[in-house]
Amino acid sequence: MSQVISLDAIATSGSTSAADMRAAMEKGGCSTSSCGTSDAQGDMPDHIWAKIKDHPCYSEEAHHYFARMHVAVAPACNIQCNYCNRKYDCANESRPGVVSERLSPEDAARKVIAVANEVPQLSVLGVAGPGDAVYDWRKTRKTFELVEKTLPDIKFCISTNGLALPEVVDDIAQHNIDHVTITFNALDPEIGAMIYPWIFYKGKRWTGRDAAQILLERQLDGLERLVAKGILVKINSVMIPGINDQHLQEVNAAVKERGAFLHNIMPLISDPAHGTAFGLSGQRGPKAAELKELQDAVAGGANLMRHCRQCRADAVGLLGEDRGQEFTLDKLPETIEYDPEKRRLYREVVEQERADRRRATEATKAELATTVAAEKKLVAIATKGGGRINQHFGHATEFQVFEVDAMGVRFSGHRRADNYCVGGYGEDDRLEIVIEALRGVDAVLVAKIGDCPRDRLAAEGIPVLDEWAFDYIESSVGAWYAAQAGQREEKARA
């Protein structure tokens, strides 16, 4: 078995020696007491790979190892989206939730150092609201300038609705901001008018079709200018059933043609409790199956991101986890010294880990190619990161889902589930929620599971297995599939 990694163990280790880091890794992750692209080096030019290889949103592989943090330095916005309530964060890049703590650029820079000292996975600093990162450009730029002085290796990333974008593209390029997200929901202004009630542009409020037309022209202009500067652009589109769902294939083709690096189709989150226009009008969001159907339909167009977690404008940590509450302003010391050692050592260890995992994945691919071609299967994984099956079933708040067939193992998406285990005790109603979240998967691979939930899931036709605990995800999923294929062959012979 390959070496066990626990990113938690590294992150919480106070030590900065390589040997101690390895020892911390080998302690393993799960307590046994209770419970962007799917890219790779070689698939793209080296200079592009260098930009995305540690970016958790732009590289599916990187999201197993690296973390982003957002600082909420951009409170103002110049448009209104029907899925947004300004009491909450910018819904173009984040899930409506608790209001972010607004930060000055100076406070934000202090927070980044505090996080970098505690979260060695940190590789990207993003500004994603709570309003628009570009409308409030001076604050966003100032934040990056301050952070750059202390952490020159961190990657900067911004998310914008695009209206104010064209004028700041030169500045973005000068500040080494390699990653920009534009939310682009419609090419057709009639459709856009159903999403944006108004925009504020050139000192005037515009509404209806005119507003949508200006916005989309500015978005496309911004995209083309960024691409011309060699900046990697991700397009976010919010999938709104009955409004733009049939239109997003066209959007995908249009942004691909203009050089977008990645397209992230996100489901509308619509809840009357959030007080958004769509929430209050009863506009529904897409079902998971509808989202997957659309994503599959656009496969072959612009590269798709399938691992977005719609995180908050003050999120901290690996995608899918949010440690923001550990770093609120009241918890930050007035002055903080940056200690680069922990991040440096973490990266060293991750490089070895990634190389090892890639070798294991290649071997799995070769093995799968020899299996009898059969239908695609879905396997859910409980993981805390590091590309391994290293989480107890009861501690999983989400499961990563992989597709497997004779062609190989591919990341397919994630399914959110409430923690089953609360204070060491399983709760039946929570287990029902997990079962619903896992419906349709063919197997679940976990680090550990109790007999009771295992039997309950088995009764629902969902086998949960812990025989690949702490192994790499791809090789384990491949081994599971090959074993299934072997059983199928045996049955066919009998």
Query: Closest Cα to residue 145, out of 173, 124, 175?
Result: 175
Residue closer to ligand CLF, measured from CB, 285 or 394? 285
Say if residue 229 is exposed, middle or buried (CB neighbours under 10 Å; 0-12, 13-18, 19+).
Answer: middle
Of these partners, ligand SF4, ligand CLF, none, which one is at the site of residue 57 (CB under 5 to 8 Å by kind)?
ligand CLF
Instruction: Name the minimum Å distance from CB 262 to ligand CLF.
Output: 9
Of these partners, ligand CLF, ligand SF4, none, which one is at the site of residue 159 (CB under 5 to 8 Å by kind)?
ligand CLF
Q: Strands 122-127, 79-80: parallel, antiparallel or unpaired by DSSP?
A: unpaired
Query: Closest Cα to residue 434, out of 79, 2, 35?
Result: 35
| Paired strand residues for 425 | 422
Residue closer to ligand SF4, measured from CB, 40 or 99? 99
Query: Closest Cα to residue 378, out of 466, 435, 441, 288?
Result: 441
Among 39, 60, 101, 132, binds ligand SF4 (CB under 6 A): 132
Of these partners, ligand CLF, ligand SF4, none, which one is at the site of residue 126 (CB under 5 to 8 Å by kind)?
ligand CLF
Instruction: Name the minimum Å distance from CB 310 to ligand CLF.
Output: 5
Q: Which of these segments, 112-120, 125-133, 399-407, 466-474, binds ligand SF4 (CB under 6 A)?
A: 125-133
Q: Do residues 377 and 358 lie in contact, with contact meaning Cβ atoms separated by under 8 Å?
A: no
Q: How many residues bind ligand SF4 (CB under 6 A)?
A: 12
140-169: contacts with ligand SF4 (CB under 6 A) = 161
Of these partners, ligand SF4, ligand CLF, none, which one is at the site of residue 124 (CB under 5 to 8 Å by kind)?
ligand CLF
Instruction: Name the minimum Å distance from CB 262 to ligand SF4.
Output: 19
Structure tokens at 394: 């009861």
Asked whether position 134 contacts ligand SF4 by CB under 6 A, the answer is no
CA atoms within 13 A on the CB side of 10: 30
Q: How many CB atoms lie within 10 A of CB 470?
A: 21
Instruction: Name the minimum Å distance from CB 55 to ligand CLF.
Output: 7
Q: Which residues contact 30 (CB under 8 A, 6 or more apart)?
A: 384, 390, 391, 392, 395, 447, 448, 469
Structure tokens at 371: 């299996």
Q: What Å distances lie between residue 355 and 360, 410, 481, CA to CA?
A: 9, 18, 23
* Chain center to CA of 4: 24
Handedness of CA 329, 332, 334, 337 (dihedral sign): negative
Residue closer to ligand SF4, measured from CB, 92 or 364? 92
Q: What Å distances lie between residue 367 and 277, 332, 334, 407, CA to CA?
A: 52, 51, 56, 10
Instruction: Name the minimum Å distance from CB 165 to ligand SF4.
Output: 12
Structure tokens at 368: 């799968």
Q: Do residues 112 and 314 lie in contact, with contact meaning Cβ atoms separated by under 8 Å?
A: no
Of these partners, ligand CLF, ligand SF4, none, which one is at the site of residue 70 (CB under 5 to 8 Å by kind)?
ligand CLF
The residues of the shown chain that bind ligand CLF, judged by CB under 6 A, are: 57, 68, 70, 93-94, 124, 126, 128, 157, 159, 179, 181, 234, 264, 308-311, 319
**Gap between the Cα atoms of 479 and 467, Å rounded:** 11
Residue closer to ligand SF4, measured from CB, 129 or 286? 129
Of these partners, ligand CLF, ligand SF4, none, which one is at the site of residue 471 (CB under 5 to 8 Å by kind)?
none
Among 126, 131, 385, 453, binds ligand SF4 (CB under 6 A): 131
Whether omega for the bond prior to residue 105 falls within 30 degrees of 0, making it cis, is no
Of these partners, ligand SF4, ligand CLF, none, which one is at the site of residue 91 (CB under 5 to 8 Å by kind)?
ligand SF4
Instruction: Name the minimum Å distance from CB 118 to ligand CLF.
Output: 18
Residue closer to ligand CLF, measured from CB, 54 or 466? 54
Instruction: Name the minimum Å distance from CB 74 to ligand CLF.
Output: 11
Of these partners, ligand CLF, ligand SF4, none, which one is at the site of residue 132 (CB under 5 to 8 Å by kind)?
ligand SF4
Instruction: Name the minimum Å distance from CB 243 to ligand SF4.
Output: 15
Of these partners, ligand CLF, ligand SF4, none, which one is at the site of residue 223 (CB under 5 to 8 Å by kind)?
none
Q: At what angle do helices 473-493 and 341-369 cross, to 10 degrees?
A: 20
Residue closer to ligand CLF, measured from CB, 93 or 466? 93
62-101: contacts with ligand SF4 (CB under 6 A) = 77, 79-81, 84, 90-92
Of these partners, ligand SF4, ligand CLF, none, which one is at the site of residue 394 (CB under 5 to 8 Å by kind)?
none
Q: What Å distances lie between residue 109 and 154, 299, 331, CA to CA?
A: 12, 39, 14
Rule CB under 6 A: which residues touch ligand SF4? 77, 79-81, 84, 90-92, 129, 131-132, 161
